[in-house]
Structure 1
Amino acid sequence: MITAMTRRRVRVCLVLALAVFLVFGLRLFQIQGVDAKAYAAMAVQNGTATTTVPAPRGAIVDRNGVELASNTDGLTVTADPSMTSEHAPQIARILYEQLPGEIDYFDTIEKLRTPDSRFVYVVRDIPASEASDAVKAVRDAKYTGVFTEKENLRSYPGGSLAANLLGFTDNSGKGVQGIEQMFDDQLTGTDGSSTYEVSSTGQRIPMADNTVEEMVPGTAVKTTIDRDLQWFADQRLSEVVSSTGSAWGLAITMDVKTCQILQMSQAPTFNPDTRQGITDQNTVSRATQTVYEPGSVMKPVTMAALADQGLINADSKVRVPESMTIDGFRIGDHWDHGVLQMTAAGVIAQSSNLGTIVAAQQMDDQTFYDYLRKFGFGEQTGVGLPGESGGIVEDADSWTRAKHATTAFGQGISVTGVQMLRAIGVIANDGMGCDPTVVESTIAPDGTEKKIEQDEPERVVSPEAAAQVTRMMEAVTADDGTAPLAQVDGYRVAGKTGTAWRVDPDTGRYLRGQNLVSFVGFAPADKPRFVTYIVIDKAPGGAGGGSLAAPIFHDIMSMALERFGVMPTGSPSPEVAQYW
């Protein structure tokens, strides 16, 4: 039996139910009718956002797999212009103060006001602490729409080690100079992305749809460089350049059989990790981009061209005059003397300009020019670095008698360091020439290694010609030669000193007292393995290739022979007569 109390309770429940339905009905009417535009605008604001999943740049490693350039975790500052546009000047001011030197104030305002965009980069690849502090400062000022994202930051574990060879990356992650630039396409990976739903305040909506496109890491580059030999050469060269006040120095070592560069050092240099010392002068590659007249290190090339034609050998007699006047120019030697009766070996051992000129007069201009081109002068070596110069070798039909004469001893022709290294490498390699290289292979993310193809070696001069010039060059490092300081205990060493006048770029005339001194040599001379070339520019007065560059050669060559386990020579260099 239904009591009065029960009926009252039913009526109350019905009234409450009707009230609830009425509230929902009125609310639905408000949403669909009265406030429809407002809620439509809010729905637009609650959209999607896409963030980049950065692909790590490929590592650069030495010949043994030791990392020379790698990646560390950094942060990128991003913004949602739909949230930052209204207060762009204020936000830009905070970021500019928090990140000095990293951003431009007015450019940042433009980025924060980018129309029809919900994602822009403010600054990329900066230390995590700097990025976090900057975003915190924006939020502390009660502004929204600025965020941080993880990104790979380029790192160079060795600091300035091989900096000019490696190059560096700019703020966008693009390679600048060196291997970083030359292999930028391979080193650069393919970024991925993550697209997800966000609220009107830019916050990610939990459990909402998320679309991910996987990133693809960059390809690694394996160099021919030996990290430890490179470090040693860097330090040794820097010490000499710094202590003597010279303008710059260069040291390169190459395997004569494979033409792989084992170290390529220059001083002064820069630190790509801290960005310290990055200037136009410091970042230029002295080995491949700087062009200069090499001086007497060119004399073995002249002798090799003559020997290949059967015109000379180490014992050939050369009558050296007191001086020569050619086309009105007086030419002498670095020491005063009367008429000398020298052998070709003596001419090289004592570095006689006059003796070299007399010997070279057996070649006409075109023949001499053709041999210079066969040795690789006047064209790029293809070493695999950006901006390589081909040097300057004027066509033979423009040569004068003076041009022929000065070219014979390395003035009037302009070369790069890697060209000079390659040329002497021809003599060390039984007359065969091959193109120097600094990269051995590339390594894909899945570990697949692809070797860099090299052209087959080509015959430049005969083995007999190379052997005769080697005999001449061994006399240079003898006790009575111009470079006994290049001797390496237990090994036969062949080499050549160089002292070149520098050209004033304003007047075109030679500068006295500001010489470019050098030494190039290979060892063991009886079974050559390595060739090393040292250059010191604007050396102090009185310094020569034998006194300044040869000791650096000695130290670097000694380490190379020891590090690669090259057995000592079994017998000393045979004596060769310098006079007759």
Structure 2
Amino acid sequence: MKLVKKTRKSPQWNRRVFGRLLVLIIAAIFVVFAGRFIYIAATGQIAGVDLTKRSHKKYEEDTVVRAQRGTIYDSLGNVLAQDTNAYSVYAVLSHDYVGTNKKPLYVTNKKKVAKILSQYLPLSEAKIYKQMTPTNQAVYQVEFGSAGQNLSLSIKRKIEAQKLTGIYFKESPTRLYPNGTFASHVIGLAQTSKSATADGSQDLVGVMGIEKYFNQQLTGEDGYKNLMQDSYGYALSQKQNKVKAAKNGQDVYLTIDSRLQSYLESLLTTVNKKYKPVSMNAVLMNAKTGEILAASQRPTFNASTKKGIGDIWRDTLVEDGYEPGSVLKIATLSAAIDSGNYNPNEYYKSGSVQVGDKKISDWQTSGWGTIPLSQAFARSSNVGMVKLEQEMGSDVWKSYLTKFGFMKKTGIELPGEVSGSLQYTRPLDQATTSFGQGINVNVMQMLQMTSAIANNGTMIQPQILAGVGKRKTIEPIKVGQPIKASTAKEVLQNMEDVVYQDYGTGQVYQIPNYKVAVKTGTAQITAPTGGYLTGANNYIFSVGGIAPADDPKYILYITMKQPQQMTDSAETILSQIFNPMMQRALEYTKKAEKDKQQQVKLPSVLTKATKTAQSELTEAGLKTALVGSGNLVVQQVPSAGSIILPNQRVLLMTNGAMTMPDVTGWSKNDLLKLSQLTGIQVEIKGSGYAYQQSLATNGLLDGVKKVKVQLK
């Protein structure tokens, strides 16, 4: 047999070379992987990622614990603004959204979903089905517009109870203003911020009024939960968990009295509809303490629905400066008397007076002939005031304007307060300030000035804050003594003359059984082109009053700009607000003083049996009404600790479904409590007491958005 010599080209040789090469490659790969594993084990990192932290993160869950924004209360403990949650519903359509074992988490039965959702949303079944059947098949999820937003918790729970596959909810904080149009610019608004937080949610931020001024105090501090869990999602040792509790915002208490505020809103609305002024302001203040008991403006808006918010964003009570007109004559007369430059028996010629190259006229241009200075104030004579300014001298008069706090903010706890301004370079400027022209003020400055007359010369600061965190006893904040007590008494008598002398301009402001002191005002409005507007209605009409004059308790100040339908005199129009408002306040005080010894501090009946709670409150001399048919009390309004009068109604919400109480005989204030407790809008029509309700007694309130109640 002939042996064949192996060559480099022979198959055997090639196989041997390839085999050795393969072994070398495998060995090299093994060395690389081994080196990689050794590196990872030594450093604990891969591609710059810390594997220990990454693994730790896999088995932990971070949750933000949302803080609650503080609640705003009135002086009676009624809620004016509080946090609540709103929900938006959406449907996932993408078949990529599946769970374990490929279980569908998307909408699988669109017709069923549309049928059920139509029972809870203001959309038809067909419309919902159409929205869930978009032409673009790549749509991942759909929402349902405004109809699917701002859903209550009860509606959310009802939809969830249907166990609809593919239907989910987004939660967002919102602010509840149960009273609607109610000191809206004063209380203000809190809205969701434009920028989202780390967890994708949005915080509430105050953008107006008290909500803005005390935003930092009202805003809480979010907490967090960092929980360790195993690969199945079960919690591990508590020692490894990190928990920081949320710190809720502080509550804010105001001096506003809801009963007086509601009445003021009603009066302003009536006058506003009838005479259609461009704007109005009205503030009722406690003359002794400076507490703002009621304050509002027109135009205004409904804080609950936001209707009308586009008409005006400013709080005109503090943010607008204006020429006050003749109500400022209170300061002029005060300065003249206090500085020793007033002789009531001195006569002067009324009608007009020449100052430089300008003639200044009385509102009755022909004047009243030669009259004593004692009549100048009651007649609201501009000429008489100019005479007083000239006898004082410009420096003395200006010093009193400063003493009365003009050109300086009062410091009331509302954002955007203006300081005002003074035009005082020429003798003409100095003369016109004596009757309220050439000087810009804000509403609170006028109240502050008038307080010196009501408090024997001591001037007090207007206050709207009754406490942050807890309610405090309001003490007057004295901001000066611009005039002597004797001066204040003489000016007060002159203000009475405005009402009770036959030559007074404010006779229409008489209130039966009470002595009233007022000053009327008519201020010209600066024209855009210079000078002043002309025409019977192109003025800012005003009245500032004190009552009772013999023992001042209240100061009421009202302004009205350019009524478009001026079918009555300015005094007649303003008296339709001033007289009933002041009378209501005075009667309220008389009743409060009578019932002072009978006041009740409301106990807490939360978690108590319903019958026990009712029995305790009845024994305390209070009425009760149930919202629900459960056996335990879960909420109460007014809140525990509130100081209330006997025979007031306390609303108790029980566990279980919310049900509609019989509201026959309820006052408007009781109905507002119902809205506050349930979060449901109560639409009130008429005045007096409730006699008709749109939802029957014991009807389910869950899912109801509005209940209508007729008063008579």
1:190 maps to 2:215 = no
Distance apart, 1:132 and its partner CA: 9.1
**In 1, Cα distance between the equivalents of 2:251 and 2:137?**
39
User: Are 1:46 and 1:197, in contact at CA under 8 Å, matched by a contact in 2?
Assistant: no
Q: Residue 564 of structure 1 aligns to which amino acid in structure 2?
A: T
Q: 1:366 maps to what in 2?
A: 395
- The structure 2 residue matched to 1:552, chosen from 552, 571, 577, is 577
Match of 2:369 in 1: 340
CA offsets per residue over residues 551-571 of structure 1, 9 Å max, x none?
311111111111122899xxx
In the alignment, the residues of structure 2 paired with residue 358 and residue 177 of structure 1 have an alpha-carbon distance, to the nearest angstrom, of 44
2:173–2:192 contact (8 Å) kept in structure 1:
no
The residue that corresponds to 1:311 in the other structure is 341
Equivalent pair of 1:356/1:408 in contact (CA under 8 Å): yes
C-alpha distance in structure 1 between counterparts of 2:180 and 2:140, whole Å: 32
Matched, 1:213 2:236: no
Q: Is the 8 A contact 1:94 1:134 kept in 2?
A: no
- What SS is found at the alignment partner of 2:447? helix
SS of residue in 1 equivalent to 2:391: coil
- Structure with larger RCO (C-alpha < 8 A, sep 6+): 1
Amino acid at match of 1:310: G
- Per the alignment, residue 418 of structure 2 pairs with 389
Matched residue of 2:285: which SS?
strand
Q: How far off is 1:141 after superposition?
A: 7.1
Matched, 1:224 2:262: no
1:291 to 281, 297, 321: 321
Identity %: 32
Match of 1:502 in 2: 525
Matches within 5 A, 1:154-553: 154-172=175-193, 173-196=204-227, 205-208=233-236, 211-279=242-310, 281-312=311-342, 315-337=344-366, 340-394=369-423, 396=424, 398=425, 400-443=426-469, 449=471, 455-478=477-500, 480=502, 481-504=504-527, 506-513=528-535, 514-540=538-564, 541=566, 544-553=569-578
Letter aligned with residue 535 of structure 1: T
Does structure 2 conserve the Cα–Cα contact (< 8 Å) formed by 1:483 and 1:550? no
The answer as to whether partners of 2:500 and 2:507 remain within 8 angstroms in 1 is: yes
* Matched positions, count: 484
Distance 2:455 2:137 in 1: 65
Relative to structure 1, is the Cα distance of residues 566 and 493 closer, same or farther in structure 2, using a 3 angstrom cutoff? farther
Deviations 1:207-258 (A, max 9, x none): 3565432112211111111111011011101211221111111110111111
The answer for unaligned runs of 5 or more in structure 2 is 1-36, 38-45, 91-95, 98-135, 194-203, 594-712
Contact 2:413 2:465 in 1 (8 A): yes
* Aligned counterpart, 1:119: none
Cα distance in 1 for partners of 2:157, 2:530 equals 55
Alpha-carbon separation, structure 2, partners of 1:534 and 1:91: 62
Partner of 1:63: 75
CA contact 1:57–1:187 (8 Å) conserved in 2 = yes
Aligned counterparts of 2:326 and 2:138: Cα–Cα separation in 1: 60
Tell me which residue corresponds to 1:563.
588
Q: Give, in whole Å, the separation in 2 of the partners of 1:428 and 1:240.
A: 28
Which deviates further from its counterpart, 212-221 or 512-521?
212-221
Aligned pair in 2 of structure 1 residues 406, 283: CA closer, same or farther (>3 Å)?
A: same
Moved more, 48-57 or 512-521: 48-57
Taking the aligned partners of 2:138 and 2:262, their CA distance within structure 1 comes to 43
Look up the equivalent residue of 2:544 and give its one-letter code: V
1:470 Cα deviation from its structure 2 partner? 0.9
* CA deviation after TM superposition for structure 1 residue 509, in Å: 2.2
For the 8 Å contact 1:350–1:476, the answer to whether it is kept is: yes
Paired AA for residue 492 in structure 2: T
The verdict on how the C-alpha distance between 1:183 and 1:425 changes in structure 2, with shifts beyond 3 A counting, is same
TM-score, normalised to structure 1, is 0.75
Distance in 2 separating the partners of 1:275 and 1:468 = 47
3-state DSSP class of the match of 2:392? coil
CA contact (8 A) 1:288 1:418 kept: yes
Q: CA deviation at 1:157?
A: 1.3
Amino acid at match of 1:264: A
Task: Give the whole-Å Cα distance in 2 for the aligned partners of 1:337 and 1:308.
Answer: 30
1:473-500 CA distance string (max 9 Å, x none): 1111126221122111111111011111
Post-superposition Cα deviations, 1:91-122, rounded to whole Å, max 9, x if no partner, equal 997778534599xxxxxxxxxxxxxxxxxxxx
Inter-partner Cα distance in structure 2 for 1:518 and 1:127: 44
| 2: CA distance, partners of 1:174 / 1:51 | 22
Distance 1:345 1:54, change over 3 A: farther
* Bigger Cα displacement from structure 2, 299-308 vs 45-54: 45-54
1:219 partner SS: coil
Letter in 2 for 1:563: Y
| Cα RMSD (Å) | 3.7
How far 1:453 moved relative to its partner? 8.0
Distance in structure 2 (CA, Å) of the matches to 1:464 and 1:519:
24
- Give the stretch that moved more between structures: 545-554 or 265-274: 545-554
Unaligned runs of 5+ in 1: 1-32, 85-89, 103-122, 569-580
1:321/1:338 contact within 8 Å kept: yes
Query: Aligned partners of 1:426, 1:491: CA distance in 2, in Å?
Result: 21
Q: Distance in 2 between matches of 1:161 and 1:544?
A: 28
Report if aligned partners of 1:517, 1:539 keep a CA contact under 8 Å in 2: no
Q: Secondary structure at the match of 1:467?
A: helix
Alpha-carbon distance in structure 1 between the residues aligned to 2:381 and 2:505: 11
Q: Indicate if the aligned counterparts of 2:352 and 2:365 stay in contact, CA closer than 8 A.
A: no
The residue type paired with residue 498 of structure 2 is V
**8 Å Cα contact 1:248/1:536 also seen in 2:** yes
Asked if the contact 2:286–2:293 (Cα under 8 Å) also holds between the matched residues in 1, the reply is: yes
Whether the 8 Å CA contact 1:486–1:551 is kept in 2: the answer is no
The equivalent residue for 1:23 is none
Residue type at the aligned position of 1:220: D
Secondary structure at the aligned position of 2:406 is classed as: coil
8 Å CA contact 1:485, 1:551 repeated in 2? no
Native 8 Å contact 2:420 2:442 kept in 1: yes
